[in-house]
Structure 1
């Protein structure tokens, strides 16, 4: 699911990300095992609908563009997998393999910083949207993961909640996003932390 923010706001957010962050230069591709993705059964349980998983696809997922932009890390080989229910709930997982552990560590921090500052950038770029971010802490899995939440509400009444996490296993970084209509009371934080653990553990 994509949070429903006007296209003008997305354009402004991309520009803000470029202004706020340091561009990370991608290394030359090196041989590395292919990371494994989450399955539908590892998504946070939905009270009335089951999850379905799409195929693993090359490229950067549009769903992450609200907070995390590929513009600051343009040359990596991204892969992603989308998940959906029959209702207005969706998720996506993205993975990227860096050339060195140090680059992967910097990339994970960069993504987490973009998510941490996302609410402020949304409000600065779109006066019709109120946004709030929350920090749900870190998880001791492989080289670590960080879980955050983001709630947006528009002046015309649209309200959406997302949970996002960034985790790393050696040279591989994964970003997971879950989202639906609602607010923080509707966010399955404990279940999403379990999903994040599984995502990082399952990479290799």
Structure 2
């Protein structure tokens, strides 16, 4: 028969062991891996521009707003979150795509609205700056893709020198991404690939995400 003192000491030791185990913190669960950053929106390729008499060449995708900004939308898109890509042909035809990723959907909506307003008022502002300039501007309709895209044309001329230029523009949005596509060449609206530009606009918005 075990002596009472031995029994009490054994019980006390067991209690201390249980207490010590209780004080050992449980191993911390591994922190969840951070979610991968979303892939940046994709740009148009040269082959997705409206058909031209000579092939399109695509420049590199560059960070920030273009150093030579559009006369219609300069100063609207922030440099942060913006990238752009220029395109050209061997003739007097050029194009550009700009993509801005806003912090929130509401900011993207506001940016798209401001860009549209700038295009709608562009010709009037250009005429104020240059009284010798003449032209016509038209809203060419909505393209049904994602949150929608809107197409504009601005036809300008200098009668004194006989030069004419036509520009096609679009603003589209998918979630937090807003894209502007610009196309321009010497000539008039009758010679511009309006339907091809609308197809390009559709592709540009569809490629964002």
Structure 2 length as normaliser, TM-score? 0.78
Tell me the residue number matched to 2:45. 39
Which of 60, 77, 80 matches 1:76? Answer: 80
Which of 124, 128, 139 matches 1:124? Answer: 128
Tell me the residue number matched to 2:190. 185
Higher relative contact order, structure no. (Cα contacts within 8 Å, ≥ 6 residues apart): 1
- Aligned pairs for 1:102-141 (under 5 A) are 102-141=106-145
- Aligned pairs for 1:139-178 (under 5 A) are 139-154=143-158, 155-178=160-183
**Are 1:67 and 2:61 counterparts?**
no
Q: Tell me how many residue pairs correspond in the alignment.
A: 172
Structure 2: which 5+ runs fail to align? 1-36
Structure 1 length as normaliser, TM-score? 0.80
Tell me the residue number matched to 1:13. none
Q: Measure the CA separation in 1 of the matches of 2:133 and 2:67.
A: 20
Root-mean-square deviation (Å):
1.4
TM-fit CA distance, 1:69: 1.4
Larger radius of gyration: 2
Q: Measure the CA separation in 1 of the matches of 2:120 and 2:59.
A: 28
Contact persistence 1:162–1:178 (CA under 8 A) = yes
Structure 1: which 5+ runs fail to align? 1-30
Q: Measure the CA separation in 2 of the matches of 1:85 and 1:73.
A: 26
**Are 1:85 and 2:89 counterparts?**
yes
